[in-house]
Amino acid sequence: MSDPVSHQDRLEIEAAVYRRLVEHLRGKTEVQNIDLMNLADFCRNCLSKWYVAAAQEKGIEIDYEQARETVYGMPYAEWKSHYQKEASAEQKRAFTEGQARREKN
């Protein structure tokens, strides 16, 4: 079965989906990164790291803080001071358990 979507259209669709995801996360500042990690094994910082890696694959040097600003829509330190809350003991426990599980895989 052939793919009805051209390579260029696929790239444009994927880029639009990425932009929509980033905008969605920017609007959900009440959702903490630790909650994203605990539920989905990724967070805004993961997206930032993937952004850096994808740029490097294209021979483009972008540092992690630049990528974070792209994902967060502002410098990370600013986002953190406005929106990041102290993680609860339960969130930390779930994160530690998830980290151990991720390391096994």
For residue 102, give the nearest of 40, 33, 54, 52 by alpha carbon.
Answer: 40
* Cα→Cα distances 39→21, 31, 43, 90, Å: 16, 11, 10, 13
Q: What are phi and psi of 77, to 5 degrees?
A: -60, -40
Q: What is the pLDDT of residues 19-30, one digit of tens each?
A: 999 999 999 999
**Look-up: residue for tokens 């052939």?**
2
Q: Per CATH, is 7-104 categorized as 1.10.3340.10?
A: yes
Q: What is the pLDDT of residues 14-60, one digit of tens each?
A: 999 999 999 999 999 999 999 999 999 999 999 999 999 999 999 99
3-state secondary structure labels for all residues of 29-83:
CCCCHHHHHHHHCCCHHHHHHHHHHHHHHCCCCCCHHHHHHHHHCCCHHHHHHHH
Average pLDDT of the chain to the nearest whole number: 95
Q: What percent of the chain has pLDDT over 70?
A: 98
**Look-up: residue for tokens 């930390």?**
92
| Residue 2 pLDDT greater than 80, yes or no | no
> Could you state, in order of their start, the residue ranges of all structural domains in the chain?
7-104
| Residue 66 pLDDT greater than 90, yes or no | yes
